[in-house]
Amino acid sequence: MNSSLKRFLPLCIILLAGIAAIIAAEWQHIGTRPSPQAVLTAAADAQHELTRVPAHYDVMTDADEIALGNTLADHYVAEFARSQATSAQLAADKQTEAYLQTIGLRVATHARRKLPWRFHYIPDANFVNAFALPGGHVFVGDGLLRLMHSEDALAGVLGHEVSHIDLRHCAERAQTEAHLRDLGPLGALGGLPVEVFLGGYSKTQELEADRDGTTLAVAAAYSPLGILQLFAEFARLEQAAPATPPNGPVDEAANLSLATLSGYFRSHPPAAERIQQVRSLISANHWPTPPPRPLQWKPHLTASRTPDAP
């Protein structure tokens, strides 16, 4: 085999594997009406599938994954910390984070992997998102909490992020970045920007995290109706017209954060697909659907800050 052929063989293997992954993702496709969002999702999905292939050659150990996650979490906690916060604000932040930790551990207990799970609160009303890090760290933004109607919705979101870790999506993302950036030793990954983990995953992985995450929430005695309510809110906001006068705290939060939320929509499948999948799971597994319980968190306890982080 000549040298030029040897040089291009790995690239050909990666491209073929990526095409196969895209075909598999479309084979598992959940029907939805064509829309610009669906086109964007398909394009993003193809990009994710092509770039994730190299990570399959090497599996990060749990110990290395936990160490990397701890390093990244320390950096991001400092990055998202309030500046010039009052003692009352800091106390409210700690109370909210303790609540997230309680619900998160209740859900994560049912995960496959036994990791040192830690749940963090980002006190920023403009941060309408949640993300997970390798090794067991989950971050939830104030803006996303403001869109939730129930503790059951929170359990579903935390279950989704736990599942990204449990299924090694986060570790794979870190390994992919190591390949793409030619970072070398694992320690060099500690400087990865938060955008790496905010960019979302492939459509297949996101729907997988929805399935596993909702299953974890149900196993923890939460109603799947909670996450359905949140997805319905997402569906409404996906089609949102130009901002109108707010009608209650949910609309006020939505008008404040639509620009940030559009980034969440670009990195996740359309809400209609996510709703359809959860409804199918409820039917197939005969899950109980008790009324969702109230969210034990009040937005007025936490003042938003001017974001100084990405």
pLDDT single digits (tens) 165-205: 999 999 999 888 877 766 655 556 667 888 889 888 999 99
pTM, rounded to two decimals = 0.76
Q: Which residues of the chain have pLDDT under 70?
A: 1-57, 181-190, 241-263, 265-267, 300-310
Tell me the residue type at 198: L
| Residue 218 tokens, joined | 């149900």
